[in-house]
């Protein structure tokens, strides 16, 4: 189904929480606002962004914004300073529209009297845009945020809070939205739905930010704004109400963390923080894209049904963790589309003279969108006439610019070198693509599509429940921390997950580890299995369960220690495994999402026991831009 039938679209699964992506700052008080806002934005830099901007109210609203790093914005402010003691600022990680000066926040309405910054995604962006344009509005950027500035200006009848209330009533999705107007110049109004927002309280001055670290050096007294609340800031403090206008009596909290702890959201490492963000990330990747009946709306995926119907071969190309995501994709596409699907390491594909032909679809997967090998393989596929779809986390990345179609994973900036949340988002992206193509081709019936949609929508809560049981995974880590070698096995989708589990362990624990299909063990590697060699088996796939258990028995017979990743409902596995890491039951096709999570945590806890630099493992870089 294409976007042409949007009016008939069934209900979408709504976002529950949004990854903490963009940075927001606000200030009202006696001091100059711009330096305070810039300082806060710099403290949010670690989260990643691609443009930044500031607006200050001083008789009129004045805005400075620039694509690129904050230093560019600082240069702009040096050339043309902003004077005034009320202001808002933003660092943007692009979601709608590429990174550019024009798309950077803040955004104003056409009169320039209302200015907004926004974190989150407006799901009915397209409909609102069309409504505004039908009424004669001229939108200058590609963002969903500019629309909010127009709506607020339209709704304004003398009270900013009321205008914001009425405007957000028309918007669906997730937002932390911060607004100023020249008409009420000593005031900032902000509203939160899902995306985070905190208020900092000073002496005769009040701050606002998307996260505590931005403000920790200014104050330690905070008010946390909850979902569906509206807050009005003046220098006297903050008045919190529900979005419906009921007063809220919210006590301030005292925050004792240091700035480094705060950046990691209280987690010891970015990797652990990012693992814990995964329920949010899945929700975000699915947000606004999936209907209850399995219909998908994938903005920037532009091929039509005819292309999907004529497709003969799918190619997936990537490196490292992204390649492992592709291994899952291969199984999923083959089963859902009944089409040959090749998955190739990008550095191999580019030299292998692959039989890519016109009319094929090549999916290039890359978190960064800048991996040199992946770019080269994607180019080769395009040269051979294939359509190329980029599945990437970075809006405006080289890969996305080069692609015919793009599906952004929306995982938010990933700081830990070892990839976790980006991998899970890549899996979700491929399920969405499989539904998109499968429904168009008629290779999946509507009931099955609806079942998969429901299964996908349940994943955030299921991953959350795995994260709640971290202690049993930490126990398993103790059981393998002293091993010299470790093997990961599984069949089909379980093998794909085993590959990723093994890589995670290698990267951060420096343990020698290998993954292989469970059936391959007896063809050689079994010679290495002794009682000192742990074997991690992923065993979720019902169709091959007994076969995998045979491999497990081969290991047991040699005294090997078995750690299994298995469904909660699997009682059989207790007979064979020394330790079982439990995951909630899903449709087998979706099991990789849940099964990957205990393996990420296993790697994390082994590395922690070994006292390694988890976020910056030796010899590795986050983005591999050399060939
Ligand atoms: C492993 C890891 C790497 C990357 C690989 C590709 O944790 O992060 O294996 O997956 O270098 O990077 P991207 O996805 O940016 O193309």
Handedness of CA 330, 453, 194, 176 (dihedral sign): positive
- Protein residue with its CA nearest to atom 8 in ligand 1: 419
pLDDT tens digits, one per residue of 394-444: 877 889 988 999 999 988 878 899 999 999 999 999 999 999 999 999 999
Crossing angle of the two packed helices 278-286 and 421-441, in degrees rounded to 10: 30
Q: What value, to the nearest 5°, has the Cα angle with vertex 348 and ends 340 and 310?
A: 25
pLDDT band at 218 (very low <50, low <70, confident <90, very high): very high
Can 22 be counted among the known catalytic residues? yes
CA distance 414 to 406: 19
Distance 180 CA to ligand 1 centre (A): 41
pLDDT at 321 (0 to 100): 98
CA distance 600 to 578: 19
pLDDT at 278 over 60: yes
Closest atom of ligand 1 to 321 CA is 10
* Distance between first and last Cα of the chain: 39
Strand pairing report for 173-181 and 60-67 = unpaired
Q: For residues 385-394, give the mean pLDDT.
A: 95
pLDDT band at 377 (very low <50, low <70, confident <90, very high): very high
Give percent above pLDDT 70 in the chain.
95
Q: For residues 581-589, give the mean pLDDT.
A: 98
pLDDT at 476 (0 to 100): 94
pLDDT band at 355 (very low <50, low <70, confident <90, very high): very high
pLDDT at 11 over 60: no
Distance 423 CA to ligand 1 centre (A): 9
Hey, is 79 helix, strand or coil? Answer: helix
Closest Cα to residue 56, out of 156, 181, 155? Answer: 181
Q: For residues 342-349, give the mean pLDDT.
A: 97
Distance 573 CA to ligand 1 centre (A): 33
pLDDT band at 205 (very low <50, low <70, confident <90, very high): very high
Q: What is the pTM of this model?
A: 0.76
The arrangement of strands across the sheet holding 387-392 comes to: 341-345, 314-318, 361-366, 387-392, 405-408
pLDDT at 29 over 70: yes
Q: Which two tokens stand for residue 599?
A: 């393996």
Q: Phi-psi region for residue 273, left (φ > 0), alpha (ψ -120 to 50) or beta? A: alpha
pLDDT at 194 (0 to 100): 74
pLDDT tens digits, one per residue of 79-105: 999 999 999 999 988 776 778 888 889
Q: Which two tokens stand for residue 110?
A: 């056409």
CA distance 341 to 474: 37
pLDDT tens digits, one per residue of 462-492: 999 999 999 889 999 999 999 999 999 999 9
What domains sit in the chain, N to C, each tagged with a CATH number? Answer: 3-266 (3.60.20.10), 271-467 (3.40.50.10490), 471-609 (3.40.50.10490)
pLDDT at 625 (0 to 100): 65
Helix (H) or strand (E) holding 361: strand 361-366
Contact 215, 207 (CB under 8 A): yes
pLDDT at 14 over 70: no
Handedness of CA 544, 546, 552, 553 (dihedral sign): negative
Give percent above pLDDT 90 in the chain.
75
Closest Cα to residue 389, out of 482, 277, 302? Answer: 302
More confidently predicted of 188 and 393: 188
pLDDT at 20 (0 to 100): 44
- Protein residue with its CA nearest to atom 16 in ligand 1: 366
Most ligand 1 atoms within 8 A of CB, residue of 317, 321, 378 to mutate? 321
Closest atom of ligand 1 to 419 CA is 7
Distance 336 CA to ligand 1 centre (A): 26
Average pLDDT value for the chain? 91
Residues contacting ligand 1 via CB (< 6 Å):
319-322, 366-368, 371, 374, 418-419, 507, 623-624
Q: For residues 341-359, give the mean pLDDT.
A: 96
Contact 207, 37 (CB under 8 A): no
pLDDT at 236 over 90: yes
Choice among 16, 182, 547, 622 that is catalytic: 622
pLDDT tens digits, one per residue of 127-165: 999 999 998 888 888 888 889 999 999 999 999 999 999
Distance 438 CA to ligand 1 centre (A): 28
pLDDT at 627 (0 to 100): 65
Q: Among 46-50, 206-210, 270-274, where is mean pLDDT lowest?
A: 46-50
333 Cβ partners below 8 Å, 6+ apart?
314, 316, 339, 341, 430, 433, 434, 437
- Protein residue with its CA nearest to atom 3 in ligand 1: 320
pLDDT at 212 (0 to 100): 82
Q: Among 157-161, 165-169, 249-253, 551-555, where is mean pLDDT lowest?
A: 249-253
pLDDT at 626 over 80: no
Most ligand 1 atoms within 8 A of CB, residue of 269, 322, 501 to mutate? 322
pLDDT at 12 over 50: no
Distance 185 CA to ligand 1 centre (A): 47
Can 622 be counted among the known catalytic residues? yes
131 Cβ partners below 8 Å, 6+ apart?
none
Choice among 22, 319, 504, 506 that is catalytic: 22
Chain mean position to CA 553: 39
Contact 67, 52 (CB under 8 A): no
């Amino acid at each position: 189904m294409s976007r042409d039938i949007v009016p008939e679209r069934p209900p979408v699964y709504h976002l529950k929480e949004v990854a903490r992506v963009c940075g927001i700052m606000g200030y009202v008080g006696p001091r100059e606002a711009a330096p305070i806002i810039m300082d806060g934005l710099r403290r949010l830099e670690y989260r990643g962004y691609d443009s930044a901007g500031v607006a200050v109210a001083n008789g009129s609203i004045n805005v400075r914004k620039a694509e690129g790093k904050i230093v560019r914005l600082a240069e702009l402010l040096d050339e043309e300073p902003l004077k005034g003691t009320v202001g808002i600022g933003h660092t943007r990680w692009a979601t709608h529209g590429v990174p550019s000066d024009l798309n950077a926040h803040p955004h104003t309405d056409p009169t320039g009297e209302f200015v907004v910054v926004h974190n989150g995604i407006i799901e009915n962006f397209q409909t609102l845009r069309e409504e505004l344009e039908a009424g004669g509005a001229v939108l200058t950027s590609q963002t969903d945020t500019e629309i909010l500035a127009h709506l607020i200006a339209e709704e304004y009848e003398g009270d900013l809070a009321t205008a914001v209330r009425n405007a957000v009533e028309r918007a669906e999705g997730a937002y932390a939205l911060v607004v100023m107007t020249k008409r009420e110049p000593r005031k900032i109004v902000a509203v939160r739905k899902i995306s985070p927002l905190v208020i900092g309280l000073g002496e005769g001055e009040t701050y606002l930010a998307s996260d505590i670290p931005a403000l920790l050096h200014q104050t330690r007294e905070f008010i946390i704004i909850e979902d569906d609340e509206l807050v009005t800031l003046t220098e006297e403090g903050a008045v919190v109400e529900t979005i419906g206008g009921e007063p809220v009596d919210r006590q301030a909290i005292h925050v004792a963390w240091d700035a480094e702890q705060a950046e990691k959201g209280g987690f010891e490492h970015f990797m652990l923080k990012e693992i814990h963000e995964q329920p949010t990330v899945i929700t975000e990747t699915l947000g606004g894209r999936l209907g209850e009946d399995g219909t998908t709306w994938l903005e920037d995926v532009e091929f039509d049904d005819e292309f999907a119907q004529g497709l003969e071969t799918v190619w997936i190309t990537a490196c490292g963790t992204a390649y492992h995501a592709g291994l899952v994709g291969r199984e999923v596409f083959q089963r859902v589309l009944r089409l040959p699907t090749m998955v190739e390491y990008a550095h191999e594909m580019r030299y292998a003279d692959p039989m890519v032909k016109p009319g094929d679809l090549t999916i290039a997967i890359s978190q960064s969108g800048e991996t040199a090998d992946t770019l080269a393989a994607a180019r080769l596929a395009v040269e051979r006439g294939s359509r190329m779809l980029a599945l990437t986390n970075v809006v405006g990345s080289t890969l996305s610019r080069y692609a015919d179609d793009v599906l952004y994973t929306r995982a938010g900036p990933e700081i830990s070198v070892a990839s976790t949340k980006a991998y899970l988002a890549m899996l979700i992206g491929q399920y969405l693509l499989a539904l998109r193509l499968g429904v168009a081709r008629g290779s999946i019936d509507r009931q099955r599509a609806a079942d998969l949609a429901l299964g996908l929508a349940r994943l955030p809560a299921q991953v959350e429940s795995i994260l709640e049981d971290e202690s049993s995974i930490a126990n398993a880590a103790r059981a393998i921390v002293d091993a010299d070698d470790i093997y990961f096995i599984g069949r089909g989708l379980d093998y794909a997950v085993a590959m990723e589990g093994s890589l995670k362990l290698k990267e951060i624990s420096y343990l020698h580890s290998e993954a292989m299909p469970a059936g391959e063990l007896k063809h050689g590697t079994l010679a290495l299995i002794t009682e000192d060699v742990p074997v991690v088996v992923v065993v979720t796939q019902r169709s091959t369960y007994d076969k995998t258990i045979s491999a497990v028995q081969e290991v047991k017979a040699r005294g090997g220690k078995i750690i299994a990743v298995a469904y909660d409902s699997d009682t059989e596995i207790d007979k064979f495994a020394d330790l079982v890491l439990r995951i909630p039951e899903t449709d087998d096709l979706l099991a990789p999402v849940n099964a990957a999570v205990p393996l990420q945590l296993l790697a994390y806890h082994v590395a922690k026991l070994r006292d390694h630099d988890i976020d910056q493992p030796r010899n590795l870089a986050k983005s591999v831009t050399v060939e």
